[in-house]
A and B are shown apart, each in its own frame.
Chain A
Amino acid sequence: MTEQTSQTPTKPPGLWKRISRSRPTKPGQTYGVPGQGNTLWLSVCSILFFIFVWWLVTFMGWVKPLFVPSPMAIVSKFISVWNNGYTGTSFLDHVVISTVRVFGAFLLACVIGIPLGLAMGMSPIMRGIFDPPIEFYRPIPPLAYLPLMIIWFGIGETSKVLLIFLSVFAPVVLGARSGVKSAAIEQIHAAYSFGATRWQVMRYVIMPSAMPEILTAMRIGVGFGWTTLVAAEMVASTKGLGYMVLSASQFLQTPVVIMGIFVIAAIAFAFDLLMRFVERRLVPWKGRM
């Protein structure tokens, strides 16, 4: 007993030690996987918290409605635009025209960009020819070359769709191009040792194994498309969500601006959910071999 008391008492670990040490895993989880765990409830709480703060700020009158309208004002604005349209065009027309512009440009970019990217990955000749122009225009903001698009292609649909197309095109090409590298050399050799032609290796090995990267590139690309929408609808538009947001901001109709932002976000998010579903169906093997 005396020996025990003579020992120096062990100090409880400090706060930082307790936070930073690793904990035992829950059943069914692998120890040490970075960032594992379900985030659904935290995400819901996070959204509710932001809406609450937003409501609180406007309800207490800390910020003028001109700068931040209340959540209820947005909802009622949405209902009135839904019923009466905006600047003489019905709400659904605004949504449809913008969606057609973005997805039209997106489909065009995929139809041209995926084969081109695969070709650039496969052939040094194609890579040599197309790498410089794509790398040249890729980092330039669409707003910078918007005037050129208008001078060259007029103020009609062509210049709008083309602007969005260009912003989607680069990431899709790059994704397809780097996807070519996903096939293991053993898989390629296996096909060749069965007597496959170059085309068969492309069709049966390289293209399927590039699918995960192509799908990711498509998700990134459509995001760029929505980003560019507002720029595309800046000049000589009378319809579209980007036009709605821009013209509302000129008339200080902040509720319409915020509402438009939410609508764009909702459409983009819905499409992303669809893409994730497609990904799960098409490439369930992603990252598993």
Chain B
Amino acid sequence: MGLNIEDVSVVYPAADGRPPVEALSRINLTIEDNEFVVALGASGCGKSTLLNLIAGFLSPSFGSLTLDGARVSGPGADRAVVFQKHALLPWLNVLDNVAFGLQIQGVAEAERKKVANKFLSMLGLDGFQDAPVYSLSGGMQQRVGIARALTCDPRVLLMDEPLGALDALTREKAQELILNIWNDTHKSVFFITHSVEEALFMGTKLVVMSPRPGRITHVFDLPFSRQFLDGMPARQVKASPKFIELREEVLKIIFADEEAAA
């Protein structure tokens, strides 16, 4: 079943004498169970709009979104979101932040702490339960955000440039961590990134988007994350001729979009 996006367009109405803006135009996309879909594109291509649509923060102007056949009409616990930043609650410690989703759903305190602790150790945050979130590094905060999203056992995990604010080394570690967790939990993932290498390495399906109007121009099936999960070292995956060839192809598409805009 999975998530189905059919002919979806988002049009922002005309304002201040400017014509209406078509943020997304006739998007068709399916996210199957256990699929890792990565969206990539020049700025303004509507990647974030698409994620906000799936999350239910936006409604489509035309077309329909369904999850397991049911229409998506607003945010819900079946679709958890990992934000780029600013989404943790600084008045709660690490453990309570991770348990926040369960608290919202009325799970008893002992039970939700148990679940939160499980995901904290999965993300390598053991021993930080009582730490205030603002004392953590950016990479650790992001891992808290991922743990929080996983606690409610969502059907789909939506990640809006979750690694964009991290330094290169932390970022590569986090990529491997997310892939391992995805492999362990069998979630469907929709992942937004600016980095071509990250997109190729992580996804099972790559969706390249173009701006004005935001639309999907290319779709690639990717083998690389499977290779990594089958035991090939990450650097070796990223240095393989096939990876490099595809990276150049995708870069060419994106640069062409950027030049068309300039």
Contacts and interface: CB of A to CB of B under 8 A. Distances in A.
A193 B132 CA distance: 23
Contact of A195 (B77, B86, B87): B77
Interface string B77-104: 1011101111111110000000011011
Interface string A185-206: 0110111111110001000110
B90 A193 contact: no
B213 interface: no
Contacts of A195: 75-77, 104-105, 152
B134 interface: yes
B18 to A, nearest CB: 23
A199 to B, nearest CB: 11
A183 to B, nearest CB: 9
Interface residues of A, number: 22
B40 to A, nearest CB: 22
A187 B87 contact: yes
A24 interface: no
Interface stretch (A26-34, A59-67, A101-109, A281-289): A281-289
Contacts of B86: 184, 186-187, 289
Contact of A194 (B56, B91, B134, B152): B152
B100 A204 contact: yes
Contact of B77 (A187, A193, A208): A193
Nearest to B55: A193
B57 interface: yes
B254 to A, nearest CB: 26
A187 B91 CA distance: 12
Nearest to A211: B91
A200 B104 contact: yes
Interface string A203-233: 0110011010000000000000000000000
B57 A204 contact: no
Contacts of A285: 90-91, 132, 134
Contact of B83 (A189, A284, A288): A189
Contacts of A208: 89, 91
Contacts of A184: 86-87
Given A184-B86, A187-B87, A289-B90, A193 B76 contact: yes
B159 interface: no
Contacts of A187: 86-89
Contacts of B216: none
Given A186-B83, A189-B57, A189-B81, A194 B104 contact: yes
A182 to B, nearest CB: 11
Interface in B95-143: 100-101, 103-105, 132-134
Contacts of A196: 104
A195 B103 CA distance: 11
Given A194-B77, A204-B103, A204-B104, A189 B134 contact: no
B59 to A, nearest CB: 14
Interface string B46-71: 00000000011100000000000000
A194 B79 contact: no
A209 B134 CA distance: 14
A193 B79 contact: yes
Interface in A250-289: 283-285, 288-289
Contact of A186 (B87, B103, B152): B87
Nearest to A194: B101
23 contacts: A184-B86, A184-B87, A186-B85, A186-B87, A187-B86, A187-B88, A190-B83, A191-B104, A192-B74, A193-B55, A193-B80, A194-B100, A194-B152, A195-B75, A195-B76, A200-B104, A205-B89, A208-B91, A209-B89, A283-B91, A288-B134, A289-B88, A289-B134
Given A190-B100, A194-B105, 16 more contacts: A184-B87, A191-B104, A192-B56, A193-B56, A193-B79, A193-B80, A194-B80, A195-B104, A195-B152, A200-B104, A204-B89, A205-B89, A211-B91, A283-B91, A288-B90, A289-B134
Interface of A: 184, 186-187, 189-196, 200, 204-205, 208-209, 211, 283-285, 288-289
